[in-house]
Structure 1
């Protein structure tokens, strides 16, 4: 009876880990693997606790930067170790080997070392399966990394380009202020078109490869989520203050942004309101809204509505993405920025949050 239970347990482990590998590396759609998620959380939590003790955003970013890549390596090791245990239980069930000898047998086969071998036909069959499993899993992981880092590079290119347009960290009003400052408001449409496509790509890559959500930028003042929030806020401000301007591309970029956030929330099991009311209360206060409007006015951004008239329209757009953005920003400890909500702990950042640019004299 004990060997039967060992065989059942071994089969469950092997099949369960195969399912995790397929869901994580092979199936090209958002599929949640409980095993992978548990391993990644186990890697992240102790580092997160350490980061929570740090007082600056830069120090926190340095601490959290290795977490996502390390989680990938630990996941691979965990898969292989689980396969080794699963095959060992199967071998112990079909032979007279002790559990320790079965572990040696399965490890020898899984890692294709070949220093241990049995003589029973049933044992040889399990050895052959184990010998095939090791190279397959490692090969899939090797093939997975280029796709992962290609998606990361595509994401970071647009985030880096936004730095000149939105400051560091980026801020929605800063985008409109800088475009007004250099008299490029007519090209805002190109920005929103680019970020509509970027949001679609992010939705696909970050739900298929959820570990990318925790990959951090090369600089502590950059973050993909804060960049997306800045673009969506700029779009909402544009629609709120300039109703006579063409709004189709602005609306599509804004919608693509919050649909992207909802897709990521679905992949992480985060609840949200599918149909918020335009009059729902925002965490962003009207006073903070006026500070952003003042920044836009400083650089001569044209406004067809007063701030009081524009506020209900802006709020009607922001209710679609504010709560989700704040939740994700807290979860991944994104760089603190204006209009981006609270973090796990209060931190300081040495880089100015809203850099003030001046028009050239003369």
Structure 2
């Protein structure tokens, strides 16, 4: 029986170390089953509360603590698992009872001391347990600056997009606002920036999965709807103006849906890797035609009529619509236009920025 307890304890310790390394140290798209279980234990009650909120603001307040609480809960879960694993090894090696083993291991794990003086000297197991606690806590503390640095870089572009796409962002609104100020020729810079942004988010959000749960400071902003807006703007430009230089728009689109697919692989969300351009999408032609009318009314010139551009736009959107809608649903983000359904029924929030609010008359 003691041998069996020792084997189980060794597996618990090794499995926990594997979870710590795969979550905090290995900079590759890996995800521990133990980490997923801990995150779900945190996520489910917060999502239960958010499902009872009927406004985007309420949902945002309910779900904002999820990521921070999950990080703290991971640390607590790892330390408890290591405590139990080392206690099982103590029972197997030293002959202690359960309570004595828990006391001996707990004191060694957390304070580098000893619970009693019955031992003649330090054992290898005591040294391992004593070193484990500071190592795990130190790795978690060192993990936070990297995490928040990636979050800050992500949110900088999301915030800047507000002046170009509204809040919440919407793809056609990008074209409309560039058309209003006569800067449609400078959209290449926007697409180039978001190509780089997609590459950075793909790397950071697959290495540190919890980043996807970090919400923007404001409820009307979110990284997934911002990326969707930029991709929709690029797809509309490609479809409506095939005669313009399109390299940057194409690269931004491919980087965008490549980013979504990389994150979906880590989340284990299935998707069609090579969809047919003729496959139907959830966005309707009527919505597309109304958006074309909106952008042209604001000064954006087009070469093709909506019915001519629609097949090309649909052929691009089929590459990213499903995953964008799925992430927007799972993360329960602000219901921006063209971003799909949510867990609970909410009205679509139209994009608004201070530019839309006309100042009062003055002298």
Distance 1:53 1:333 in 2: 12
Report the 3-state secondary structure (helix = DSSP H, G, I; strand = E; otherwise coil) of the residue aligned with 2:58: helix
Gaps spanning 5+ residues in structure 1: where? none
C-alpha contact 2:42 2:66 (8 A) present in aligned 1: yes
TM-score (norm 1): 0.96
Q: Which residue of 2 aligns with 1:353?
A: 351
Structure 2 unmatched runs, 5+: none
Q: Which residue of 2 aligns with 1:176?
A: 175
How far does residue 119 in structure 1 lie from its aligned partner after superposition?
5.0
On the 8 A contact 1:39/1:75 being kept in 2, the answer is: yes
User: In the alignment, is residue 331 of structure 1 matched against residue 330 of structure 2?
Assistant: yes
Please tell me whether residue 144 in structure 1 is matched to residue 152 in structure 2: no
The CA distance in 2 between the partners of 1:248 and 1:359, in whole Å, is 36
> What is the CA distance between 1:121 and its match in structure 2?
7.1
The CA distance in 2 between the partners of 1:329 and 1:39, in whole Å, is: 22
Determine the C-alpha separation between the residues in 2 that align with 1:266 and 1:87.
Answer: 34
CA deviations on 1:270-302 (whole Å, 9 max, x unpaired) are 000010000000000111112211210220110
For 1:151-170, what aligned pairs fall within 5 Å after superposition?
151-170=150-169
Give me the CA root mean square deviation: 1.7
Q: State the TM-score, normalized to the length of structure 2.
A: 0.95
Out of 351-360 and 337-346, give the one that drifted further.
Answer: 351-360
Q: CA deviation at 1:347?
A: 2.5
Shift in alpha-carbon separation, 1:134–1:337, aligned structure 2, 3 A:
same
User: Distance in 1 between the 2:94 and 2:209 partners?
Assistant: 41
Quick one: structure 1 residues 47 and 312, their matched pair in 2 at CA, closer, same or farther if it must change by over 3 Å? same
Question: Once structures 1 and 2 are overlaid, which stretch shifts more, 212-221 or 287-296?
Answer: 287-296
In 1, Cα distance between equivalents of 2:276 and 2:358: 40
Structure 1 segments of 4+ aligned residues over 6 angstroms from their partners? none
The residue correspondences of 1:25-64 to structure 2 (distance < 5 A) are 25-64=24-63
Residue-by-residue CA offset, 1:286-335 (whole Å, 9 max, x unaligned): 11112211210220110100000000000000000000111111010011
CA distance in 2, matches of 1:178, 1:114: 65
| Counterpart position of 2:209 | 210
- Deviation digits for residues 42-92 of structure 1 (CA, Å, limit 9, x no counterpart): 100011011001110100000000001100000000000000000000001
Separation in structure 1 between the aligned mates of residue 329 and residue 302 of structure 2, nearest angstrom? 33
2:260·2:324 contact (CA, 8 Å) conserved in 1?
A: yes
Aligned partner of residue 162 in structure 1, secondary structure? helix
User: Which whole-Å CA distance do the structure 2 matches of 1:295 and 1:48 have between them?
Assistant: 36
* Contact kept? 1:55, 1:348, Cα under 8 Å: no
Q: 1:1-362 residue pairs with structure 2 within 5 A?
A: 2-117=1-116, 124-348=123-347, 352-353=350-351, 357=356
Between 4-13 and 114-123, the greater mean CA deviation after superposition:
114-123
- CA distance in 1: counterparts of 2:358 and 2:43, whole angstroms: 45
- What is the alpha-carbon distance in structure 1 between the residues aligned to residue 220 and residue 245 of structure 2? 32
- Which SS does the other structure have where 1:189 is aligned? helix
Does the 8 A contact of 2:206 with 2:266 survive in 1? yes
Q: Secondary structure at 2:280's aligned position in 1?
A: coil
Count of equivalent residues = 358
Indicate if the aligned counterparts of 1:196 and 1:256 stay in contact, CA closer than 8 A.
yes
Comparing 175-184 with 283-292, which one deviates more in the overlay? 283-292
